[in-house]
Amino acid sequence: MGNNRRVRVMVAKPGLDGHDRGARIIARAYRDAGFEVVYSGLHQTPEEIVEAAIQEDVDMIGLSSLAGAHKYLFPRTVELLREKSAEDIVVCGGGIIPEDDIPPLKEAGIKEIFTPGTALDDIVKWVKENVKPR
Amino acid sequence: MTDVAEKIVNGDVRAVARLIRDIDDGMPGVRQVLKELYPSTGNAYILGITGAPGVGKSTLVDQMVSHLRKRDKTVGVLAVDPTSPFSGGAILGDRVRMQRHSMDEGVFIRSLATRGHFGGLTQSTRSAIDVFDAMGKDYIIVETVGVGQDEVDVVKSAHTTIITVIPGMGDDIQAIKAGILEVGDIFLINKADREGTDKTLSDLRLMINMDHKKYEEGNWKPPILKAQAVFDKGVKELLEEIDKHRKHLTEHCGGWQVRRREDKVRQELGDMIKSRLIEEVLGKITETGDFDEAVNSIVEGKTDPYTACDKLVLPAIGVSTG
Ligand code: B12
Ligand SMILES: Nc1nc2c(ncn2[C@@H]2O[C@H](COP(=O)(O)OP(=O)(O)O)[C@@H](O)[C@H]2O)c(=O)[nH]1
Ligand SMILES: [Mg+2]
């Protein structure tokens, strides 16, 4: 078996937003960094995302939203994790998120937000520094 | 019984998710839990689905889950995807096709990466099957990309193994012949909406007919089915064929719980010993640095690999070097 914990993350697309280019690019960057990446596919409810994350035993959920519903979908995901006593799963997000929305999202428990133009290296580095395999 | 084992037998989702992770990561303590779970296993019917990437295995699994749920059966799915040999990471995307079952408490879907450790995939997948079995799943479906020896070994733990191909695979069908044809209990031509289905059907039929043993009295003759997984066509028929195979195992093979049969036990225990030995011996000698030292000695011409191997392995398994 060989004792080595791998970082496992899930890249998820909540809501009706069909923009998946960014999510796929992020998933590939994570894989290239050596993480095991579960990709959720499009049109997931926060409930489905949280259930899948628990079954997959991931260390982090990365939410991607470009359609403007992040203000509800992101905090709802964190809330559901708390309800399931799974708040040890870190949540971050990215996409088209207006500057003004970021502080309230962080207050709601989303640990970091990455907007367009962020270098993939920085996105990967953040996981290495902030997500430890549990 | 440990707390963990008890939680798993009671169907605790988080405990199951965590134990499968621990198995995969080779964490200490898992063996104890698996020992305790073993008496609770042997009740699930295990299906192995294999085939080249893109033939529609995950789509098929998704549909099969729906059909099994309609029969009120609970299902565990293990979806195995390849680890990148460059980074050691993996994108596990099988789940995308099965997401409609996320909220169904009777379904547990878990993605696994091949990881590429020695014999590890076979071992950890079998252990994960045992965990789903112990938590009480009626059916366990294992999806693997059918290429390597590991994958073939994995499907050998299944009660019914389904080999999936698509029309127009031509030479690829020839390629399946090597090694995997023998393990197929059911052959499925998916994407039968495409051209060339009948040609593939006759190619397959020819190859299976060449395998004479399959036609001896009382042996199971692998059927060849057509399906269109995306449109849920042929899936019901596939499940009926699985039922028939299960009945065949029951009537002709001393019960469908073949994993308790001598030949299977022999195989699985043999595999377990192999991977355990590798883990213990290779683990130990890499940790102490003896392995690297031996490599250097051979490179520098101070010794030969045969002597080095004896020196490394024999003491590790308690045999004195003569
Ligand atoms: C390409 C594109 C499309 C493609 C999508 C193709 C696909 N499969 O993805 C198509 C043509 C289909 C499309 C359609 C639509 N689009 Co469009 N589209 C874009 C466009 C031009 C680029 C998006 C993109 O792919 N960027 C490249 C990727 C790599 O960047 P990214 O996703 O932003 O990701 C980066 C970061 O945000 C971050 N990130 C993102 N997700 C995540 C997740 C994690 C975990 C992390 C760590 C980081 C992270 O990291 C990435 C790298 O830096 C944007 C405009 C823009 N400049 O963003 C509009 C845009 C997103 N679209 C828009 C709209 C309105 C639409 C439509 C509704 C209608 C329309 N007017 O075209 C439809 C709806 C589609 C649907 N079903 O939801 C609006 C959204 C407005 C809003 N949010 O209020 C935008 C902003 C254009 C605009 N200025 O109006 N679109
Ligand atoms: N035309 C056609 N496409 C299918 C069929 N079944 C699955 N697919 C598509 O084949 C692609 C690969 O399917 P997937 O289940 O991910 O394949 P896997 O890699 O074998 O697991 C997807 O786009 C499916 O929608 C089918 O019967 N006919
Ligand atoms: Mg698949």
Which chain A residue has its CA at the smallest distance from B111's CA? A56
Contact B28 A6 (CB under 8 A): no
The alpha carbon torsion through B104, B107, B111, B112 (nearest 10 deg) reads 160
CATH 3.40.50.300 in chain B: give the residue spans. 42-254
What mean pLDDT is predicted for residues A40-63?
97
- pLDDT tens-digit profile of A69-114? 999 999 999 999 999 999 999 999 999 999 999 999 999 999 999 9
A77 close to ligand 1 (CB < 6 Angstrom): no
Tell me the two tokens of residue B127.
Answer: 């252990």
Summarize the confidence of residues A24-34 as an average pLDDT: 97
With beta carbons less than 8 A apart as the criterion, state whether A6 and A22 touch. Answer: no
Chosen from B22, B78, B95, B125 to mutate, greatest number of chain A CBs within 10 A: B95
DSSP-assigned states of every residue in B148-189: SHHHHHHHHTSSEEEEEE-TT-THHHHHHHTTTGGG-SEEEE
Contact across the interface for B13 and A27, Cβ inside 8 Å: no
Report CA-CA distances (Å) from B140 to B20, B136, B143, B240: 14, 10, 10, 16
B145 lines ligand 2 (CB under 6 A): no
Residue spans of the domains in chain A: they are: 8-124
Q: Mapping DSSP to helix (H, G, I), strand (E, B) and coil, where does residue A13 land?
A: coil
Q: Which residues pair with B45 in a beta bridge?
A: B139
Distance between CA atoms of residues B68 and B239, nearest Å: 8
Decide if the complex's ipTM is over 0.85: yes
For the domain covering A8-124, report its CATH number.
Answer: 3.40.50.280
User: From CA B196, how far away is CA B217, in angstroms rounded?
Assistant: 32
Does ligand 1 come within 6 angstroms of the Cβ of A62? yes
Question: What is the fold of B42-254?
Answer: Rossmann fold (3.40.50)
Phi-psi region for residue B312, left (φ > 0), alpha (ψ -120 to 50) or beta? alpha
Question: How many angstroms separate the CA atoms of B281 and B274, rounded?
Answer: 11
Tokens 């979908």 belong to residue:
A73
Contact criterion met (CB < 8 Å) for A57 and B17: yes
Inter-chain residue contact A37 with B90, CB threshold 8 Å: yes
Task: List per-block mean pLDDT (blocks of 10 residues) for chain B, which spans 322 residues.
Answer: 93 96 90 96 94 93 98 97 90 96 97 73 88 98 79 80 85 62 89 93 82 69 95 98 95 78 85 86 88 96 95 86 60
Q: Does residue A122 line the site of ligand 1, with CB under 6 A?
A: no
Residue A11 in contact with ligand 1 by CB distance below 6 A: yes
B73 interfacial to chain A (CB closer than 8 Å): no
Distance CA B24, CA B126 (A): 11
Among chain B residues, CA nearest to A86: B14
The residue type of B278 is: I
| DSSP tag of A128 | H
Q: Distance, in angstroms, between B142 CA and closest chain A CA?
A: 15
How confident is residue A2, by pLDDT bands cut at 50, 70 and 90? very low
Ligand 3 midpoint to CA A60 (Å) = 23
